[in-house]
Amino acid sequence: MNKVVAIFIAFSLVMSMPIVSLAEDVETSVKVNQTNIQELVDDNQGTEDIDKKVENDDILPDTNEAGNYTEFNKAEKTGDVSERGSDEIKQENVTDVSSDTLSEQEDTANLEEEDEKLIVADDDTMIKTLCEHGYAYDTATALEEENLKELYSDIMKGREVEASTCAIEIDNLAAIEEFLKTDEDTLNAQGVSDKVIEENAKQVSDILNMSNQELKKEGGLSTTEVKILRKAEDNAKNEAIDNKEIKNEVDASGGISSSKLKYTQSKTNLSSKTKPIYKINFTYSWAKPYVIHLFTDYIAVGWGGDFNSKSESGSAKYYWWEGSNRWIGNCKKTASMGKYAIINRGFKFSIPQGKWVGKQYEKTKKGSASLIIYKNKKNRKATKVISAYCHQVIKLGSSNGISVSLSSNHLSVSLKIGTAFDKSSQQNDNVNN
């Protein structure tokens, strides 16, 4: 019996490069165009020309036997990656772009001059307008006020604004069972601190100590879900319990207690006659709290066409919750997201699933991020910007890597996300470089 089960019975992040991974065994890959996509395979080799067989803008650090990134997890152990990486962007293979500075400043000045004249309305009108252009209500209301006004103003000015929304569901009861079956040493090896393990153990213990009636009334569980939860508890104590019976009940119930996240990506075309410029917004919102909150989530972004990026920013909002059923009160803390650049091909925003606020451990309910991609000359070739929300769960032997691959002509882009994540479908927007 491990230490966690016993409970129920009685960034100064300094990295020389961002963390990206290519999970070779089990991973999700969405290929936007089938154009000879080449993967990044060597952890230690130097930068090579992309037109050769190996492209290495996202060099991988050393991994442990479980496929986790050891250097990244050293920083994750602090439980504060976001704040430590919030004010600076971690980059690798940084190139000199000083020759582009004047042109970039001219474009920025023009955009700022136009943005001084924002067209705004009351919040309800602006949110309704965004929903008509692809946002969900939950993700539109999760936008920072500044971004909400900018998007509405751009729509009113006739600019091209497009958005797409998807959802992912997290299986809370399965997550509880995995937590109960996993010992502290294993979680420590994955970068989880004793303090965070203890906080999760306390929350799960509070849930398991509720009576069946309380679980139904306050936790929102059905009779079948209560049975599944009790069997998950027994299964953690005695691995001989038959999982087949649990599976049959899950199938019979039509689904078990879950938390749903909505995720939106939007594109605003700010291009001039001679230069391609696009602002990309990313927004997420959890309808109900997830139970287990041990790790760090990510918004992973990739693009083709050798675009540069700038003005990267993101913030996550943290709330208190009751059981696994509902959020309580107003935002307790707003924290900057961690930022990691993959030069000329992608970006990662990191979001700790939980944060200490005073004496309480809050969870992220919603947040938004944005960046601008640009070039100083139009090539008039089509490519895409793609992204996904990645929620890390306990999954032993899995990879927590995220990587971006490009085809030899730089126009086809692929995001590859490790099997340690429950992830959204990958949203994409067409852009011309």
Task: Give yes or no for a contact between 56 and 64, defined as CB atoms under 8 angstroms apart.
Answer: no
Task: Give me the torsion for CA of 169, 173, 179, 181, rounded to 10°.
Answer: -130
User: Which residue's structure tokens are 């962007």?
Assistant: 89
Report the C-alpha gap between 6 and 414 in whole angstroms.
44
Rounded Cα distance, 281 and 180, in Å: 37
Q: How confident is the model at residue 321 (pLDDT cuts 50, 70, 90)?
A: confident
Over range 157-185, report the average pLDDT: 92
Within 8 A by CB and 6+ apart from 55, the residues are: 38, 40, 48, 405, 406
The pair of structure tokens assigned to 161 is: 């604004």
pLDDT in tens, 333-372: 999 999 999 889 999 999 999 988 877 789 999 999 999 9
Higher pLDDT, 159 or 67: 159
Percentage of residues in the chain having pLDDT higher than 70: 67
Q: Are residue 131 and residue 147 in the same domain, yes or no?
A: yes
The closest of 407, 396, 402 to 423, measured between CA atoms, is: 402
Measured in residues, the chain has a length of 433
Q: What is the pLDDT, as a whole number, of residue 345? A: 95
Give yes or no: residues 291 and 359 share one domain.
Answer: yes
- Asked which of 258, 274, 289 is the last residue of a domain, the reply is 258
Among the candidates 258, 291, 310, a domain finishes at 258
Query: In the 3-class helix/strand/coil scheme, how is 333-365 assigned residue by residue?
Result: EEEECEEEEECCCEEEEEEECEEEECCEEEEEE
Contact status, residue 180 vs residue 8, Cβ threshold 8 Å: yes
pLDDT at 113: 55
The pLDDT-based confidence of 397 (bands split at 50, 70, 90) is confident
Residues 278 and 422 in one domain: yes
- What pLDDT, on a 0 to 100 scale, did the predictor assign at position 43? 34
Query: Which pair of structure tokens corresponds to residue 189?
Result: 């090896």
143 lies in the same domain as 184: no
Give the pLDDT of residue 338. Answer: 97
User: Which band of pLDDT confidence, cut at 50, 70 and 90, is reported for residue 410?
Assistant: very high
Q: Is the pLDDT of residue 22 over 90?
A: no
Give the number of C-alpha atoms closer than 13 A to the C-alpha of residue 360, restricted to the C-beta side: 11
pLDDT at 304: 96
Cα–Cα distance between 403 and 405 in angstroms, integer? Answer: 7
Percent of residues, the chain, with pLDDT higher than 90: 48
pLDDT at position 258 is 81
Q: Which of 231, 258, 285 is the last residue of a domain?
A: 258
- Reply yes or no on whether the pLDDT at 66 is more than 50: no
Per-residue pLDDT at 4 exceeds 70: no
Higher pLDDT, 199 or 351: 351
Residue 220's nearest CA partner among 256, 262, 250, 169 is: 256
How many other CB atoms are there within 10 angstroms of residue 8's CB atom? 18
Query: What gap in Å lies between CA 376 and CA 274, rounded to an integer?
Result: 8
Estimate the crossing angle of helix 194-208 against helix 223-237, to 10 degrees.
Answer: 130
Q: Tell me, what's the pLDDT at 226?
A: 86
Please report the pLDDT score of residue 99 as a whole number.
40
- 264 with 406, same domain: the answer is yes
Q: Please check whether residues 335 and 210 belong to one and the same domain.
A: no
Structure confidence at residue 98 (pLDDT): 38
Classify residue 419 by its DSSP letter. T
Domain identity same for 242 and 358: no
- Check whether residue 305 and residue 399 sit in a common domain: yes
Q: What is the DSSP letter of 135?
A: -
Indicate the pLDDT class of residue 51, thresholds 50, 70 and 90.
very low
Give me the number of domains the chain comprises: 2
Please, which pLDDT band fits residue 190 given cuts at 50, 70 and 90?
Answer: confident
Is residue 124 domain-shared with residue 76, that is, in the same domain? yes
Residue that wins the pLDDT comparison between 183 and 322: 183
- Written as one string, the DSSP assignment of 247-294 is HHHHHHHTS-SEEEEEEEEEEEE---SS--EEEEEEEEEESS--S---
> Which residues make Cβ contacts (< 8 Å) with residue 101, sequence separation at least 6?
none
Residue 32 has pLDDT above 60, yes or no: no
More confident residue, 125 or 57: 125
What would the mean pLDDT of 315-332 be, rounded to a whole number?
84
Domain shared by 67 and 160, yes or no: yes
Residue 177 has which token pair?
């069972």
SS3 assignment, position 328: strand
What local confidence, expressed as pLDDT, does residue 249 receive?
45
Q: Are residues 237 and 253 in the same domain?
A: yes
Q: From the CB of residue 167, how many other CB atoms can be counted at a distance below 10 Å? A: 15
How far apart (Å, rounded) are the C-alpha atoms in residues 190 and 178?
14
Can you give the pLDDT at residue 237?
Answer: 64
Q: Coil, strand or helix: which one is 144?
A: coil
Q: Are 311 and 371 in contact (CB under 8 A)?
A: yes
| pLDDT, tens digit (0-9, with 9 covering 90-100), for 288-317 | 889 899 999 999 999 999 999 999 999 999
29 in helix, strand or coil? strand
What pLDDT does residue 421 have? 94
The pLDDT tens digits for 91-138 are 433 333 334 444 555 555 555 555 568 999 999 999 999 999 999 999
Q: Which domain holds residue 241?
A: 3-7+170-258
Phi, psi dihedrals of residue 398, rounded to the nearest 5°: -100, 170
Please check whether residues 42 and 112 belong to one and the same domain.
yes
Which tokens in the block code for residue 158?
């006739």
Is the pLDDT at 57 greater than 80, yes or no?
A: no
Among 11-25, 133-147, 182-196, the minimum mean pLDDT is found in 11-25
